[in-house]
């Protein structure tokens, strides 16, 4: 099951959430604390969300952060899976249920798409199995 945390819960558990976000990013900004503080501000302004994936017995198996983004030219609103960190292998069934929950949330939030990028092969494979278009390659040149 995928459960969205409310702002009170995010504040209460932020010190436990931060390390999961950091681990989800192989390359991080120079000022990590500033980056995480800005992310927390977005979440508390309802521009982002923190979700927890729970197994059958209610144990947290992953933490996921989403953000609303908007194409500056078309105005198309998207829900971006900003970070995803698993504490252990997540069963395909839980991924599929979680994706359905995110799609419903995105539609209810007037988003046109649910988007993500990942360099983790298993995440890409599961996205492909559940109908995602994975044909686009994210290209990045590190300048600093």
| Domain regions of the chain by residue span | 2-129
Identify the burial level of 106 via C-beta atoms within 10 angstroms of its C-beta, where 0-12 means exposed, 13-18 middle and 19 or more buried: buried
101 phi/psi in degrees, rounded to 5: -65, -45
| CATH entry 3.40.190.10 includes domain 2-129 | no
pLDDT in tens, 31-78: 999 999 999 999 999 999 999 999 999 999 999 999 999 999 999 999
- Per-residue pLDDT, 25: 84
Two tokens, residue 78:
């998207």
- Per-residue pLDDT, 38: 96
Q: Which of 97, 28, 110 is nearest to 62 (CA)?
A: 97
Calculate the CA dihedral of residues 140, 130, 77, 2 and round it to 10 degrees. Answer: -100
pLDDT in tens, 98-120: 999 999 999 999 999 999 988 88
Tell me if residue 115 falls in helix, strand or coil: strand
- Per-residue pLDDT, 10: 97
User: How far apart, in Å, do the first and last CA atoms of the chain sit?
Assistant: 39
């Amino acid at each position: 099951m995928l459960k969205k945390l409310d702002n009170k819960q995010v504040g209460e558990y932020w010190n436990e959430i931060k390390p999961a976000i950091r681990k989800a990013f192989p390359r991080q900004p120079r000022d990590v604390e500033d980056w995480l503080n800005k992310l927390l501000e977005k979440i508390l302004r309802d521009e982002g969300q923190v979700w927890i994936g729970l197994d059958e017995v209610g144990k947290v198996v992953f933490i996921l952060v989403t953000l609303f983004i908007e194409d500056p030219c078309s105005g198309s609103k998207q829900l971006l899976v900003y970070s995803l960190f698993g504490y252990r292998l997540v069963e395909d069934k839980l991924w599929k249920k979680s994706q359905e929950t995110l799609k419903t949330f995105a539609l209810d939030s007037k988003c046109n798409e649910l988007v993500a990028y990942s360099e983790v092969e298993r995440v890409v494979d599961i996205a492909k199995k559940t109908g995602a278009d994975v044909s686009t390659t994210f290209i990045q040149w590190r300048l600093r």
